Chain A
Amino acid sequence: NSKVIQTPRYLVKGQGQKAKMRCIPEKGHPVVFWYQQNKNNEFKFLINFQNQEVLQQIDMTEKRFSAECPSNSPCSLEIQSSEAGDSALYLCASSLGRGQDTQYFGPGTRLLVL
């Protein structure tokens, strides 16, 4: 079973509010991913890191989302100004990288924007 930890499990925010969620990857996994799963079960890749460096991110993430993976602290994903369309399950995953691309997922943070 995966040992990726995500907090909080549930988050309720008003439109325009900041929403922040955290992820602790599996021990020894340098690569961290964030995905958004919407109510239609569609997954959207948001951003990934290797150690503290961003590897890839999509446009949406550049503009309204901010994310970081500081050394010796949990990774975080923050939506600067929440919109109703951001309501979704946010999944964090980690992997060993180095060509081993199996990703291990946390339970997710379910965000509801009212």
Chain B
Amino acid sequence: GDSVTQTEGQVTVSESKSLIINCTYSATSIAYPNLFWYVRYPGEGLQLLLKVITAGQKGSSRGFEATYNKETTSFHLQKASVQESDSAVYYCALSPLNYGGSGNKLIFGTGTLLSVKP
């Protein structure tokens, strides 16, 4: 079946340093799933950070970027300079969207807790 893997359960980075959170996916139900990063800030609900629906494209939001790489089946999240306010849990997800359909479930990784040290 379809799956998402985030290898790091926790990452600690000093403020103003660069960040990369790894995400790889396996999609057996569809060749090119839609890919997402969701974020949960402390005390808040899960919210969409960015999404990319076309292989080869890059999505960006709040200084974060992720590129849909179909060759390596990866969707790593990067930021050039993190801030303390970026401390949160980041979830990579895929949706095996059937074009024109609705109601496709999301398949999530287990999340990466980012702690930014001042």
Contacts and interface: CB of A to CB of B under 8 A. Distances in A.
Are chains A and B native binding partners rather than an unrelated pairing? yes
Contacts of A108: 45-46
A75 to B, nearest CB: 13
A16 interface: no
A107 B45 contact: yes
Interface of A: 1-2, 4, 30-31, 33, 35, 40-43, 45, 48-50, 55-56, 91, 93, 95-99, 101-108
Interface size classification for chain B = 20 to 34
B95 A101 contact: yes
A99 B103 CA distance: 8
Interface of B: 34, 36, 38, 44-48, 51, 89, 95, 97, 99-108, 110-111
7 contacts: A1-B47, A30-B102, A31-B103, A45-B107, A56-B103, A95-B103, A105-B38
Contacts of B97: 99, 101
